């Protein structure tokens, strides 16, 4: 089993339940981990025999560009796009963190994590 992952991919986005969150926007971190069994010999050093993490970043970037009220919806959108494109994925984990959420006290981040297991 192989895991390809992105750690703390940073995006500016306009996700939030409250209108002010959508208007102001915020910084978000996205972690993605995708596990799969390689169908081909990885010694051939061929990108087509693995999962391209550049494509994972493109999927996250596209989903982060669509304003949503809930982080759950954002994470699910990323996961759904990965499943649609990489049907051979055995497991997918997506975490979306909102940095400095607008709360009364100091909070470094809030997060939602969604997983898929074949």
Q: How many domains does the chain have?
A: 1
Please confirm, yes or no, whether 104 is among the known catalytic residues: no
Domain region containing 52: 2-117
**What pLDDT, in 10s, does the model give residues 58-105?**
999 999 999 999 999 999 999 999 999 999 999 999 999 999 888 889
- Indicate which CATH number applies to the domain containing 72: 3.30.1130.10
Query: How far is the C-alpha of 40 from the C-alpha of 19, rounded, in Å?
Result: 48
Pair 24, 101: CB distance under 8 Å:
no
User: What percent of the chain has pLDDT above 90?
Assistant: 79
Question: What is the three-class DSSP state of 42?
Answer: helix
Query: How far is the C-alpha of 42 from the C-alpha of 95, rounded, in Å?
Result: 28
Mean pLDDT of all residues in 37-64: 87
- The catalytically annotated residue of 93, 98, 108, 118 is 98
Task: Give, for 48, the enclosing helix (H) or strand (E).
Answer: none
């Amino acid at each position: 089993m192989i895991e390809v992952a992105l750690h703390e991919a940073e995006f500016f986005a306009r996700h939030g339940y409250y209108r002010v969150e959508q208007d102001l926007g915020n910084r978000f971190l996205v972690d993605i981990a995708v596990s799969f069994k390689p169908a081909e010999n990885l010694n051939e050093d061929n990108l087509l025999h693995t999962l391209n993490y550049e494509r994972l970043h493109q999927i996250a970037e596209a989903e982060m560009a669509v304003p949503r009220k809930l982080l759950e919806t954002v994470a699910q959108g990323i996961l759904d796009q990965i499943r649609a494109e990489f049907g051979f994925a055995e497991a997918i984990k997506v975490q979306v963190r909102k940095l400095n959420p607008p709360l009364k006290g100091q909070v470094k981040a809030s997060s939602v994590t969604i997983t898929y297991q074949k």
